Amino acid sequence: MRGNHFNESQAGVIPLESLQRDQAGVIPLETLPAGSEGATKYLQREQERTASAMTALEQRQDFALNQYAKGLLKPFKGKGEILRFRDELDAECRRMWQEAADFANRYNRTVVQAGLWLKPHNNSGGRVRAVQWRDKAQTQMGRRLLEAVLQFGDISVGMKRQLVEIETERAIFNAKVAAATRQVDRLNRLLSDLGEIEAMV
């Protein structure tokens, strides 16, 4: 049986398990001898694997995008659906009123260490409050306060990273607030227009 033992190295094929891999677990192509059968087959396999992975990723992204778009446009079929959509968004706005306070309370014990404060703010009587940056004395407001702390503040790199993460979450929350409130206003205008149209006959 020993005489029939197959030696991959003698056959000109390099066992892939014997080669070093990078941090992502991929064998760098430059570690394979040029022109070897192992290099050719490895390259072919990697190209096929990459193409397959990219196709799957694109399909998942297309599916997600289609679902978001369809979900947004689904209510625009008739007055009844639009009324329900408006009412659901209105209820979501009432929930986000409290969510703004919860957001500020969750992070204020962190941002106060950098001389900052977060506070829900509503200067127009709107249905939802956006979360704004303030100084600790509550005399100034705006993102410029955060920018000044990040640029000139005597804080650690770790604290700066935390502040940036909080700002990212704040920006997304405020965008959600804006999207919901504007959509409710637009739907109210549309419902008013539909009422006028119905009165034409």
Q: Express each pLDDT in 3-23 by its tens digit.
A: 444 454 444 545 555 555 555
pLDDT digits (tens, 9 = 90+) for 116-148: 999 998 755 567 889 999 998 888 999 999 999
- Helices vs. strands in the chain: H and E counts, helices first: 4, 2
**Is residue 35 located within the same domain as residue 99?**
no
Residues 119 and 138 in one domain: yes
Pick the more confident residue, 18 or 82: 82
Kindly state whether residues 54 and 89 are assigned to the same domain. no
108 and 184 fall within a common domain:
yes
Q: What is the spatial distance between Cα 93 and Cα 131, in angstroms, rounded to a whole number?
A: 14
Based on the fold, state whether residues 112 and 98 are members of the same structural domain.
yes
- Mean pLDDT for the stretch of residues 91-105: 91
Domain match, 18 and 86 both: no
Residue 1: which domain range?
1-74
Residue 29 scores a pLDDT above 50: no
Looking at 74, 94, 114, the residue that finishes a domain is 74
- What are the CA-CA distances from residue 31 to residues 14, 18, 19, 34, 190 (Å)? 11, 11, 7, 9, 65
Do 109 and 70 fall within a single domain? no
How many domains, in total, are found in the chain? 2
Claim: this prediction has a pTM higher than 0.85: no
Instruction: Say whether both 9 and 37 belong to one domain.
Output: yes
Residue after which a domain boundary falls, among 12, 44, 74: 74
Q: Which residue has the higher pLDDT, 81 or 168?
A: 168
Strands (E), 122-198: 130-135
Q: Out of 27, 55, 74, pick the residue that ends a domain.
A: 74
State what percent of residues in the chain have pLDDT above 70.
63
Q: Which residues contact 152 (CB under 8 A, 6 or more apart)?
A: none
- Are 24 and 45 in the same domain? yes
193 and 135 share one domain: yes
Are 9 and 67 found together in one domain? yes
Residues 99 and 36 in one domain: no
